[in-house]
Amino acid sequence: MPDMSFLQGESLYGGYGGADILQGCSIGVDKGEIAVVVGPNGAGKSTAMKAIFGMLSVREGSVTLNGQDISKLPPQERVALGMGFVPQNGNVFTSMTVKENLEMGAFIRRDDFRSTMEQVFSLFPVLAEKHAQPAGELSGGQRQQVAVGRALMTRPSVLMLDEPTAGVSPIVMDETVDRIIEIAKTGIAILMVEQNARQALEIADRGFVLVQGRNRYTDTGAALLADPEVRRSFLGG
Amino acid sequence: MTDFLNALALLGNFVIVPGLAYGSQLALGALGVTMVYAVLRFSNFAHGETMSFGAMVTILVTWWLQERGVNFGPLPTALLALPIGIAGTVLMCLLSDRFVYRYYRRERAAPVTYLIVSVGILFVLSGLVRFVIGPQDRIFADGERFIMKARAFKQMTGLEQGLAIKTTQGVTVVTAVIVVAVIFWFLNRTRTGKSMRAYSDNEDLALLSGVSPDKVVLVSWAIAGTLATIAGTLYGLDKSFKPFTYFQLLLPIFAAAIVGGIGHPVGAVVGGYVVAFSEVTVTYAYKKFLIYIVPESWEPEGLVQLLSTEYKFAVSFVILVVVLLIRPTGIFKGKVL
């Protein structure tokens, strides 16, 4: 009986058409938790995220959300079911204003989403200030906030982030991490891939170390940080 | 002072009024090209023929209305026929998408493949138009010919030079202003309009946001067909309807879209006027104008015409080449071709 979390990718095999990049990895997260996927380059971290979100077809294995099998659903339908995804690149509409980006995030919602937008603005006050500016004119960190805000507009129960701190300054990185913790506290499940493994594992309720598309270590973030073998192999001592 | 006003009237009559009308027609054409480029991501070489097709349907309906004695008072009857012309053209665009472009979209064909496909559509449409209505020149403007006659202007102002404004020129400019305003309102204020901009900006993210690509494609063709029909009909009213001229219009229209920045709606409109005024100012003979404003001894002997009107297409071509060499993104930073 596999462990069934709120969102669970179980024994995933698949890739981009050629050889399988994912070799049976399993990743899961529960509501209010932060799960972090780390591992060396080419371990299949981003591929696993895409597989869970339905952006590439899984050859074998299953993805379940709240017990429902969603393996065959396209990404748009997973969004409707409460999954939000922030890709690493191209995650904002650069020619559209911050406010329009958030509106596009709420595109599938037919109800009044102004209160959700207020919540996003109170989480990221700088966005409220720059709401009329094209997202392409913002700094890297602010764009990342727009991207996260956009994904939050559907009021998702799971938020997936692909390297949210890539390419931003250390100060902005700390702030982004704080915001992610804040979002998790509202009861949203957070699943993220991180290059900066040490910092990410510090806040992780669950950590997954992937190597060559397989789970090498799975434990709480703290336990992984304390494991001398993990430290030596993946965290630089 | 009178000399100066005469010079101004002369310029108004031969440069500004025709330039505004022609610029409005190019702006509407370029807006259609830019919309297709932004959303469907290819250069639609069939746009000129789509304009011709739209004008043809409008003319056929105009004739039918005229036969029944329907008219639009001082305004051209063609304006009444326009909605049906638009409907027919949008239907044609949707059919061409369904049976031709959709296949290439699913194949994820390269933009250059699309371009060649659109050239194929161009030939089919141009043959169809010639088959249905014939290749000759046709004048279908009716109603009042002038908003302001040259003689009336002279009497009113006491100037030597008249300033005439044709009804078709007035109708062209007013229609263009309304259409452009509606398009911008649609793109910036409505949910569907915003989703089209989002799709144009970042297709993957738009799909993740739940934007339906089929709907975006459908609306784009509807807008492109509408703009083409309006532009084609206005051009035909203002000059005359001759299928071949619509093929030639392709060059100034693409020049306008690229000068403004292809994929950028504001750029298309600005580009339309830039190209039109370049063409008109370069091919205008300034002799009479100069006689009014320079001392008698400086009076020019020649026509002071930079380029004969037969070469007006060279102007668009030069603009196109210069922009592509110096600022390929155009005035408003559109996409690089």
CATH assignment of the domain containing B16: 1.10.3470
Interface test with B, best of A104, A150, A161 (most B CBs within 10 A): A104
Computed over every residue of chain A, the mean pLDDT equals 92
What residue has token string 């009479």? B288
Residue B336 has pLDDT above 60, yes or no: no
Q: Using pLDDT thresholds of 50, 70 and 90, give the confidence band for residue A237.
A: low
Q: Is the pLDDT of residue B334 over 80?
A: no
**Is residue B134 left, alpha or beta, with left meaning phi > 0 and alpha meaning psi from -120 to 50?**
left
The pLDDT of B324-330, averaged and rounded, is 89
Cross-chain Cβ contact B195/A75 below 8 Å: no
- For B277-326, the pLDDT digits (tens) are 999 999 998 988 988 888 888 888 888 888 888 888 899 999 999 999 99
pLDDT in tens, A19-53: 899 999 999 999 999 999 998 888 899 999 999 99
Q: Residue B327 domain-assigned? A: no
Range of the domain at B116: 2-251
A184: number of Cβ within 10 Å: 20
Q: Is residue B318 part of a domain?
A: no
Question: Which of A93, A99, A153 has the most B C-beta neighbours within 10 Å, making it the best mutation to test the interface with B?
Answer: A93
- Who's near B91: CB < 8 A, 6+ residues apart? B225
The pLDDT of residue A69 is above 90: yes
Instruction: State mean pLDDT over A213-227.
Output: 93
pLDDT in tens, B52-72: 999 999 999 999 999 999 989
**Amino acid making up residue A6:** F
Is B315 part of a structural domain of the chain? Answer: no
Q: What is the DSSP letter of B310?
A: G
Which tokens in the block code for residue B71? 């008219």
Instruction: Sort out which chain A residues have CB atoms less than 8 A from B206's CB and list them.
Output: 93, 104
* Residue B106 forms contact with A (CB below 8 Å): no
| CA gap B45, B261 in Å, rounded | 17
List the single residue in A with minimal CA-CA distance to B333.
Answer: A95
Q: CB of B206 within 8 Å of any CB in chain A?
A: yes
ipTM of the modeled complex: 0.87
A220 pLDDT above the threshold of 90: yes
Q: What is the mean pLDDT of residues A150-154?
A: 95
In a domain, B271, yes or no: no
Mutate to test the interface with B, among A83, A98, A107, A150 (most CBs of B within 10 A): A107
Whether A75 has a pLDDT exceeding 60, the answer reads yes
Please state whether beta strands A158-162 and A58-65 pair in parallel, antiparallel, or not at all (unpaired). Answer: unpaired
Give dist(CA B229, CA B247) in Å, integer.
14
Of B138 and B298, the structure prediction assigns the larger pLDDT to: B138
Cα–Cα dist B319/A100, whole Å: 35
Q: What is the DSSP letter of A220?
A: -
pLDDT digits (tens, 9 = 90+) for B164-222: 999 999 999 999 999 999 999 999 999 999 999 999 999 999 998 989 999 999 999 99
Task: In chain A, count H helices and then E strands.
Answer: 10, 10
Nearest Cα to Cα of residue B35 among B203, B179, B260, B223: B223
CB atoms within 10 A of CB B116: 13
Segment holding A179, helix H or strand E: helix A170-185
**pLDDT number for residue B335:** 66
Mean of pLDDT values over A169-191: 92
- Does A87 sit within 8 Å of B202, measured CB to CB? no
Count: domains in chain B? 1
CB of A81 less than 8 A from some CB of B = no
B148 within domain boundaries: yes
Say if B314 falls within a structural domain.
no
Q: Note which residues in 184-203 of chain B have CB less than 8 A from chain A.
A: 191, 194-195, 197-198, 201-202
Pairing of β A214-219 and β A58-65: unpaired
pLDDT classification of A232: cutoffs 50, 70, 90: confident
CB atoms within 10 A of CB B103: 12
List of long-range contacts for B303-306, beta carbons under 8 Å, 24+ apart: B306/B282
CB contact under 8 A, B209 and A75: no
Between CA A19 and CA A26, with CA A24 as vertex, the angle to 5 degrees is 135
A1: pLDDT strictly greater than 50: no
> How many beta-carbon pairs under 8 angstroms link A with B?
54
Whether residue B323 lies inside any domain: the answer is no
Question: Residue A3: is its pLDDT beyond 80?
Answer: no
Q: Do B194 and A103 touch (CB under 8 A)?
A: yes
Given pLDDT bands bounded at 50, 70 and 90, which one contains residue B254? very high
Q: Is residue B335 one of the residues assigned to a domain?
A: no
Q: Is B266 on the interface with A (CB under 8 A)?
A: no
